[in-house]
Structure 1
Amino acid sequence: MARHDASELAIRLGRQAEAVCRHYLSNGRRQGRYWTVGDVRNTPGRSMFVRLSGPESGPGAAGHWTDAATAEYGDLLDVIREALGLVDFKDVAEEARRFLSLPHPEPDKTRTPTGRAPGMASSGSPEAARRLFAMSQPVGGTLVETYFRNRGITALHETTSLRFHPRCYYRPDEHSPTEIWPAMVASVTDLAGRQTGAHRTWLSPDGSGKAPVKTPRRAMGDLLGHAVRFGVAGRVLAAGEGIETVLSPRMVLPQMPMLAALSAAHLAACRFPATLRRLYVLRDRDPAGDGARNGLIARATSVGIEAIAVSPVAGDFNEDLRWRGVDALRATLKEQLHPEDVSRFMEG
């Protein structure tokens, strides 16, 4: 039995693009060389276009689609996943094989020890993270902007690492049904700017806060040593745990490059750019935050980087921003930054 990896399955589906669309996007219709429908979840409408003919791979390939309303795009594997509400790639691949009348791969020959076919992206892989981020849209005018505004954050410059997905799957556990919530999707990148993972924050439908689910924040892909980045690091960089914790100081330090490591453990392990000479560690006031601060400062100092811990008055810098205001946050930071950086980076 030959292997059918993700690329091969997408090509085979593309050869039968119209049949795939008629089956999974039954609320659409053919218009010339395209199948039009409302969206990838088979909503009636005409904003999504699926190519019915073209090369087998690359730009303009048969089966590739774009949603003009949301800027989402993908291939027919994405159509199957979204239309049926599937979560794991193995289920998507199994459904694709069923549609194509392909035999199931023989487990002893085509499965890795993790139970995943070689070449296929698992639901938590870096490839899956890149696909999710690519299918999301810029945050301007979305619930992400509303969510930040409700947390006192209105300066969203240099936030291309953040996107919005209006219908992001959430599964409480492997035994529970899949739910759909809007979500902020953050790109996790390495020092060279390559995306290695993604972080999801599921939001309430009105953007007033996080979604009322057990774990509204989850990461996928390869995170260790990497981060969500805002601005390009040079000689100076600020690093913190959460996205909101990092974006709050940027309200008064708009030009200072910063990163969010997404957890205390990952903050302690984040890697340093070769250009870095001074590192500010944005502390969270809890035992895990203290441990991350101490570990990161020790590592930075050992390689000749000046490391300075910066502490909030409350539990974290977003609490300072929300409950004490921008002016008080500015005063708190001004007392702890190097004078050279106050004059270079601080507004007001």
Structure 2
Amino acid sequence: MSRHDASELATRLGRQAEAVCREYLPSGRREGRYWMVGDVRNTPGRSMFVRLTGPESGKGAAGKWTDAATSEHGDLLDVIRESCGLIDFREVAEEARRFLSLPHPEPEPAGHNARQTPAPTGSPLAAKRLFSMAQPIAGTLAESYLRNRGITVLHGTRALRFHPRCYYRPEEHSPTQTWPALIASVTDLDGHQTGAHRTWLDPNGFSEATLGKAPIDTPRRAMGDLLGHAVRFGVGGEVLAAGEGIETVLSPRMVLPHMPMLAALSAVHLAAIAFPVDLRRLYVLRDRDPAGDNARQSLIARATGEGIEAIGLTPLRDDFNEDLRELGADAMRAALREQLRPQDVARFMDD
């Protein structure tokens, strides 16, 4: 990418500076003409400020930021790079284009042998390519699916995308079908994608029987390298909440919108999640079934053995999404308030 192309992307991001901050720096908040946050990696705090208004370039341009504690400074491309844990600038530019809903650049001319090599089925590379082909969930069937499950707080969910025609094969030798799907990125502690999770959706909309999932035998499947990794919402720090399913985790975010959370995607993988180095307190979201209880107990034992305070959070019904759909956010808020540490109620709960 040329310097001109990078400058054009930074300018376009600057025109939507507040929306960029809400997406990539959700631990912060707007104060006047600035977005205040702890640092460019989305740590809670107030030492970094991003200009939300100003000219498109030069001194005081919208999107320019400065961290008063470290004297670091940059533009919104730097925010995307650091908050997403990206290294290759091509990945940064691709993520910026995704946010801006811009088309992919035309590939450079190459010889006839330059055709992209197919990725092995189910591999991390295949997962990464699937996620890159998907689109933001805003205005899609994926957003409708989540809203019908009662999940309307969707800031900080850049790990989720939508694919209108995602391949599905019931069995190895069955014909391939296509269904719309919610695609989730599975990442490691450094933010590098290792896998993907697919929830195939019913194109006819929501029904109580399927809760909006496609009428197929296995509407949820994961691919890639999953062990120890997860679908992440927010950047894990001293406090983190972990659960199995995406909907299970997104439900308590309705009342804890600033608490970092992760979905491990299964009971087995929940028990094996990797801990951030600065983690001090772990909340484990319970699913009321034998596999969920065993995973919760195993994870709590692991965390305690590493000096991490581990606390189980129990839903009123079978899981937190059922609480949200059937009892409402206020009932879930009241139940969680009794189970959280008082300092975390004050810090994370949305009253």
What's the TM-score bracket when you normalise by the shorter of the two chains?
0.5 to 0.7
Query: How far apart, in 2, do the equivalents of 1:339 and 1:253 lie?
Result: 13
Query: How far apart, in 2, do the equivalents of 1:230 and 1:136 lie?
Result: 18
> Which of 154, 175, 191 does residue 177 from structure 1 map onto?
175
> Which of 307, 316, 321 does residue 318 from structure 1 map onto?
321
State the match for 1:130 in structure 2.
128
Query: How far apart, in 2, do the equivalents of 1:309 and 1:216 lie?
Result: 28
State the match for 1:272 in structure 2.
275
Query: Any conservation in 2 of the 1:334–1:342 contact (CA below 8 Å)?
Result: yes
Does residue 152 of the first structure (1) align with residue 150 of the second (2)?
A: yes
Using the TM superposition, give the Cα deviation of residue 121 of structure 1 relative to its aligned residue in structure 2, in angstroms: 2.2
Query: Any conservation in 2 of the 1:187–1:228 contact (CA below 8 Å)?
Result: yes
> Which of 320, 331, 334 does residue 328 from structure 1 map onto?
331
Bigger Rg, which one: 1
Query: How far apart, in 1, do the equivalents of 2:101 and 2:216 lie?
Result: 25
> Which of 284, 309, 312 does residue 281 from structure 1 map onto?
284
Query: Any conservation in 2 of the 1:74–1:135 contact (CA below 8 Å)?
Result: no
Does residue 222 of the first structure (1) align with residue 225 of the second (2)?
A: yes
| Inter-CA distance 220–289: structure 2 relative to 1 (3 Å threshold) | same
Counterpart of 2:153, as a letter, is: A
Using the TM superposition, give the Cα deviation of residue 174 of structure 1 relative to its aligned residue in structure 2, in angstroms: 1.4
> Which of 240, 243, 260 does residue 243 from structure 2 map onto?
240
Query: How far apart, in 2, do the equivalents of 1:72 and 1:230 lie?
Result: 26
Counterpart of 1:235, as a letter, is: E
Give the alignment of 1:18-167 within 5 angstroms.
121-167=119-165
Counterpart of 1:323, as a letter, is: E
Q: Mind listing any 5+ residue stretches in structure 1 that lack a counterpart?
A: 1-57, 60-65, 77-95, 101-118
Query: How far apart, in 2, do the equivalents of 1:258 and 1:302 lie?
Result: 21
Give the alignment of 1:6-25 within 5 angstroms.
none
State the match for 1:256 in structure 2.
259
Query: How far apart, in 2, do the equivalents of 1:221 and 1:75 lie?
Result: 28
Query: How far apart, in 2, do the equivalents of 1:126 and 1:341 lie?
Result: 35
Output one character per residue of 1:55-74: Cα deviation in whole Å (capped at 9) or x when no partner: xxx98xxxxxx99x986759
Identity %: 70
Query: Any conservation in 2 of the 1:72–1:136 contact (CA below 8 Å)?
Result: no
Query: How far apart, in 2, do the equivalents of 1:318 and 1:231 lie?
Result: 19
Output one character per residue of 1:100-133: Cα deviation in whole Å (capped at 9) or x when no partner: 9xxxxxxxxxxxxxxxxxx862110000000000
Query: Any conservation in 2 of the 1:71–1:135 contact (CA below 8 Å)?
Result: no
Query: How far apart, in 1, do the equivalents of 2:138 and 2:225 lie?
Result: 27
Give the alignment of 1:295-306 within 5 angstroms.
295-306=298-309
Query: How far apart, in 2, do the equivalents of 1:295 and 1:74 lie?
Result: 47
Query: How far apart, in 1, do the equivalents of 2:104 and 2:166 lie?
Result: 14
Query: How far apart, in 2, do the equivalents of 1:305 and 1:269 lie?
Result: 15
Query: Any conservation in 2 of the 1:320–1:329 contact (CA below 8 Å)?
Result: yes
| Inter-CA distance 72–292: structure 2 relative to 1 (3 Å threshold) | farther
Output one character per residue of 1:183-225: Cα deviation in whole Å (capped at 9) or x when no partner: 0000000000000000000001034200001000000000000
Counterpart of 1:160, as a letter, is: R
The SS at the match of 1:166 is: strand
The SS at the match of 2:271 is: helix
Q: Report the TM-score when normalising by structure 1.
A: 0.67
Counterpart of 1:206, as a letter, is: N
Aligned residues: 245
Q: Report the TM-score when normalising by structure 2.
A: 0.66
The SS at the match of 2:269 is: helix
The SS at the match of 1:224 is: coil
The SS at the match of 1:341 is: helix
Q: Mind listing any 5+ residue stretches in structure 2 that lack a counterpart?
A: 1-88, 91-96, 207-211
